[in-house]
């Protein structure tokens, strides 16, 4: 069909339908196939106009900058030495695995640590991954992490956030996962470049948008700290486990980089205290999930993350 023919057909559609088609056309993301020779060239990132506007907002600019630094200096450390961090990823992966399906969104994927765990548990059904993060430098590492986990499907690298409509078509994904990720940092919500909701209201907008992209019965699986987490308990568990299992190289790294890591993590508590990050108990999550069209399939409170974590798997009702 010629372009003029399509344009003529579009003209007769209702305005809302035309806007939806226009939006979908401007949100076609590139997928890369993961194979042995993967990424001989620099990968392309998808980023929409909304995210480009959002990151100019002074508060968000600082938040992204804090995470850039944290991801560079701390994310590799927790992913390689922190038993509570890794065991929470594994718990989430085990609980989510049978609900995952073919098309997956990882919201706040970092360097792909959680997807790697999921693929190690099983995750064989996964064919397409939308890897989304505010930090493009972390996203660069995702393809290699997936390749090392023997993934042989497709991945799209999206510099985006949980702070506005996801650049994903309605009802097109089987699951959304967020391991200590973007979901709990949905503290601001933007529409048309304008800040329209903050704190819990922003989280509600984000959950509604996740519901929009999920197919019926699609799954949302995520982890977050419980309210007022005891960070000391997490640190003691990390170090204790390295000593107990005789992992001296990791222990050296944890001691060597632990103090700067603590300093770089301070912004997370500030953001949470100000209400822009969500450390909730299961009952609070349940109320928000029900309000936004989900029902809980399974939940665990205080079982992992040195008893400081919440893991929830929910289904689009």
Ligand X SMILES: C[S@@+](CC[C@H](N)C(=O)[O-])C[C@H]1O[C@@H](n2cnc3c(N)ncnc32)[C@H](O)[C@@H]1O
* Residues contributing to the site for ligand X (CB under 6 A): 67, 71, 75, 79, 89, 107-110, 113-114, 132-135, 138, 161-163, 179-182, 185-186
Q: How far is the CB of 307 from ligand X (least distance, A)?
A: 18
Minimum distance from CB of 293 to ligand X (Å)? Answer: 21
Least distance to ligand X from the beta carbon of 301, Å? Answer: 19
20 or 204: whose CB is closer to ligand X? Answer: 204
Q: Following CA atoms 249, 144, 131, 58 in sequence, which dihedral angle do they give, to the nearest 10 degrees? A: 60
Q: How far is the CB of 188 from ligand X (least distance, A)?
A: 8
CB 159 within 8 A of CB 133: yes
Closer residue to ligand X, CB minimum distance, 75 or 242: 75
CB-wise, 134 or 314, nearer to ligand X?
A: 134
3-state secondary structure of 285: helix
289-298 own/partner pairs: CB under 8 Å, 24+ apart: 289/207, 289/220, 289/314, 290/317, 291/204, 291/207, 292/204, 292/207, 292/208, 292/210, 292/211, 293/208, 293/211, 293/317, 294/207, 294/211, 294/220, 297/99, 297/219, 298/95
Least Å distance, CB 145 to ligand X, is 10
CB nearer to ligand X: give 71 or 299.
71
Beta carbon nearer to ligand X, 20 or 53: 53
Tell me the C-alpha distance between 195 and 123, whole Å.
36
């Amino acid at each position: 069909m010629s372009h003029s023919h399509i344009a003529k057909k579009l003209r007769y559609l209702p305005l809302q339908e035309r806007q939806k088609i226009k939006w979908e056309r401007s949100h076609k993301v590139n997928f890369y196939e993961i194979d042995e020779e993967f990424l001989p060239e620099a990968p392309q990132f998808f980023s929409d106009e909304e995210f480009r506007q959002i990151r100019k907002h002074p508060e968000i600019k600082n938040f992204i900058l804090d995470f850039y630094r944290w991801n560079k200096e701390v994310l590799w450390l927790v992913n390689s030495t922190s038993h509570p961090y890794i065991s929470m990823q594994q718990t989430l992966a085990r609980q989510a695995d049978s609900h995952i399906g073919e098309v997956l969104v990882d919201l706040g994927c970092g360097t792909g640590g959680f997807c790697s765990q999921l693929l190690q548990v099983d995750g064989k059904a996964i064919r397409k991954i939308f890897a989304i993060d505010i930090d493009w430098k972390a996203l660069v590492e995702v393809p290699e992490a997936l390749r090392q986990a023997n993934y042989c499907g497709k991945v799209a690298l999206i510099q985006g956030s949980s702070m506005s409509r996801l650049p994903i078509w309605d009802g097109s994904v089987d699951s959304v996962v967020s391991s200590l990720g973007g979901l709990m940092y949905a503290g601001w919500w933007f529409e048309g470049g304008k800040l329209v909701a903050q704190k819990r209201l922003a989280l509600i907008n984000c959950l509604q948008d996740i519901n929009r992209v999920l197919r019926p019965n699609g799954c949302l699986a995520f982890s977050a700290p419980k309210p007022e987490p005891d960070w000391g308990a997490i640190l003691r568990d990390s170090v204790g486990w390295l000593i107990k299992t005789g992992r001296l190289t990791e222990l050296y790294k944890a001691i060597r980089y632990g103090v700067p890591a603590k300093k770089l993590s301070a912004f997370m508590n500030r953001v949470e205290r100000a209400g822009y990050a969500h450390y909730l108990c299961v009952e609070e999550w349940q109320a928000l999930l029900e309000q936004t069209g989900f029902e809980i399939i399974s939940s665990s409170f205080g079982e992992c993350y040195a008893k400081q974590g919440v893991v929830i798997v929910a289904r689009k009702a």
